[in-house]
Chain A
Amino acid sequence: MKAMRSLLLALFVGGAVFAAEPIPVKVSTDTSGASTRVMLTFGKKVACAVAEDPGHIKITCDAAVASDPPSGTLDDAILKSFGMEGDRALVLATGRGYTRVDTFELKNPTRLVLDLSGTRAGKAATAPAAAPAARVIVLDPGHGGVEPGAIGPSGVQEKDLTLDLARRLKALLEKQGTTVVLTRDDDRVLPLDDRTAIANRNRAILFISIHLNASKRKTAVGAETYFLSTSATDAEARTLAGLENKAYEPPEAGAAATSANPPDHGLELILWDLAQNSFLAESSRLAEAIQTELNAMTGVRDRGVRQAPFRVLMGATMPAILVEAGFISNPEEEKRFKDDAYKDKIVEAIARAVSAVAAKP
């Protein structure tokens, strides 16, 4: 598992950018100071997200960009080179001396400044390297409080079972030396945005939302693991998010005042979508690992990993998945979830997958 960290950055969102021409980005570097400074000057306002993984810092924009110069190589222990990846991302290849990046934005013209700290030829780092962070995994028991989620035929409530499973999984993972944070550790309502915010704040390496399923199809049975669908977060949809919120007129006069959406949610959506988009490959691998373990453990049937635009996964700046551990609408499966040994087997399967994924370099 790559130790990924992501910084989100709002450069500006001024509505959708439909320009066929890529937006020019002037790239300048300065290695004269203690840190290496990279300044990106954009020819137009654009939204970008900064994501970091070992050896690289990737700046992904919401529209096509063209760096000027197209690429460059530096004689620097902190920053080795930069260049375009596809038509929307600029990648900085960091050197052995690199330790961390701080970013800030400037306006008029739109600029993104990245300060890369580190050491050059034995010199001390300009900023102390962050202490080796504890590996935090955030577990999210679905629903809670007045939101029971699904309810089984004999009355088992999803919110109780998700908390039970999350506590068991926490205990198991902590035995293996991982720090685990629960988004809720009691029976209360927790807004979906707060759940990912907890994971982001804790700089979690994984976000796992735990749910139980229900269906009108009474024979529905078994566990399913989801990650965010790309179709719902494609570039067109992001572009639209910016547009729609400007042009949207509620169909009723009274609807505007009661709308749950803040006026700036186009911006919020674009940023969050870019956030999870950077981690879709890792999220897919985690989902795959969990589903494989659950299939092997339950032997119910061979289900694959699935994708859907789950609201709770949108804002996660780390690999994020949602596991539906079983159908409590199915009387037999509901009964199984009353058995402690069965619940332990479920969380053991998830823990095995998490350990395998998190252990990968």
Chain B
Amino acid sequence: MTRAIGAALAVALAAFSQACGGRTTPPAAEPVPASPPATVAADAPADAAPMSSASVTLYFPSASDDGLVVESREIVDTKRPADRGAQIIAALLTGPTNAAGLPAVPPGTTLRHLWVREDGTAYADFSEELTAGLTGGSADEIRTVYAIVDSLTANVPAIQRVGILIAGRENETLGHLDLRRPLPPDLSLAGHAKPTE
């Protein structure tokens, strides 16, 4: 148990350090790195020094029905929405620890960038694997999309809706769902398993 939390914190810390190098607004002209920085940034900001942890609820596709199941994780208790969001997505990408859950995204999927606008919209920019690895069925697509949207909106009050980008670009759809604009959460997919927050 202690080990699991330790591992989760390590993942969270890595995501946090990475996210701290990011920004909350999209850079207009600068190219975004093609992949997330592999190394942990050494220049963590001073205000991040005494770090406590926070419990968050992640949504994963259910192994037993077409909905989502929840798992809790410990992340670094960062206040900036973009930092929290990046940690949550990093944990989601790592996958479920419980047999009741299935991976939320195809293998190899990485988060390239995440930023949060003041109007409550988060944009999560994923690598190409997110689309390339889908089964082509709407059931999986719906669960992948809402695992991301629900995990972010349930845990970051500043995020009310999520836009999903692939390799820096907007997409009409991953096949079925309308992704032309940010999606609000659909907690009905989690059935009775409401977020614990």
- Footprint of B on A, CB under 8 Å? 148-151, 158, 192, 211-217, 220, 224, 226, 229, 231-232, 234, 236-237, 240-241, 243-244, 247, 249-255, 258-261, 265, 269, 308-312, 314, 322, 324, 327, 329
**13 CB < 8 A contacts A-B:** A151-B136, A158-B136, A211-B138, A216-B140, A232-B184, A236-B184, A237-B161, A240-B119, A251-B26, A260-B169, A261-B180, A269-B181, A309-B177
B177 touches A148 (CB 8 A): no
**Cα A120 to Cα B161 with chains together (Å):** 52
Closest A residue, CB atoms, query B169: A255
With most chain B CB atoms within 10 A of its CB, the pick from A226, A237, A244, A322 is A244
A252 touches B31 (CB 8 A): yes
Question: Is B32 in contact with chain A by the CB < 8 A criterion?
Answer: yes
Report chain B residues within 8 Å CB of A265.
Answer: 180
B184 touches A237 (CB 8 A): yes
Closest A residue, CB atoms, query B187: A231
Report chain B residues within 8 Å CB of A237.
Answer: 161, 181-182, 184
Closest A residue, CB atoms, query B175: A149
**Cα A229 to Cα B142 with chains together (Å):** 12
B186 touches A229 (CB 8 A): yes
Assess A260 versus B172: contact at CB under 8 Å? Given A217-B63, A240-B121.
Answer: yes
The total of chain B residues at the interface (CB under 8 A) is 47
A309 touches B119 (CB 8 A): no
Question: Is B135 in contact with chain A by the CB < 8 A criterion?
Answer: yes
Report chain B residues within 8 Å CB of A236.
Answer: 184
Contact with A along B165-176 (1 / 0, CB 8 A): 100111111011
A260 touches B140 (CB 8 A): no
**Cα A78 to Cα B135 with chains together (Å):** 54
**Cα A85 to Cα B91 with chains together (Å):** 47
Contact with A along B135-146 (1 / 0, CB 8 A): 111111010000
Select one of A149, A244, A311 contacting B177, CB under 8 A: A311
**Cα A308 to Cα B178 with chains together (Å):** 9
B178 touches A261 (CB 8 A): no
By secondary structure, the A interface counts as: mixed
Report chain A residues within 8 Å CB of B102.
Answer: 216-217
**Cα A324 to Cα B141 with chains together (Å):** 13
**Cα A253 to Cα B138 with chains together (Å):** 32
**Cα A220 to Cα B63 with chains together (Å):** 9
By secondary structure, the B interface counts as: loop
**Cα A150 to Cα B176 with chains together (Å):** 12
**Cα A252 to Cα B31 with chains together (Å):** 5
Shortest B106–chain A CB gap in Å is: 9
Closest B residue, CB atoms, query A309: B178
Assess A253 versus B176: contact at CB under 8 Å? Given A214-B135, A237-B161, A261-B170.
Answer: no
B140 touches A215 (CB 8 A): yes
B178 touches A310 (CB 8 A): yes
Closest A residue, CB atoms, query B31: A252
Report chain B residues within 8 Å CB of A254.
Answer: 31
A311 touches B173 (CB 8 A): yes
Report chain B residues within 8 Å CB of A269.
Answer: 180-181
Select one of A211, A213, A240, A327 contacting B182, CB under 8 A: A240
Question: Is B61 in contact with chain A by the CB < 8 A criterion?
Answer: yes
Select one of A148, A231, A252, A327 contacting B139, CB under 8 A: A327
Closest A residue, CB atoms, query B172: A260
Question: Is B125 in contact with chain A by the CB < 8 A criterion?
Answer: yes
Shortest B112–chain A CB gap in Å is: 9
B186 touches A231 (CB 8 A): yes
From 74 to 100 in chain B, residues with beta carbon under 8 angstroms from any chain A beta carbon are: none
B123 touches A192 (CB 8 A): no
Closest A residue, CB atoms, query B181: A241
A150 touches B121 (CB 8 A): no
**Cα A107 to Cα B104 with chains together (Å):** 49
Report chain A residues within 8 Å CB of B176.
Answer: 211, 308, 310-312
Report chain B residues within 8 Å CB of A314.
Answer: 178
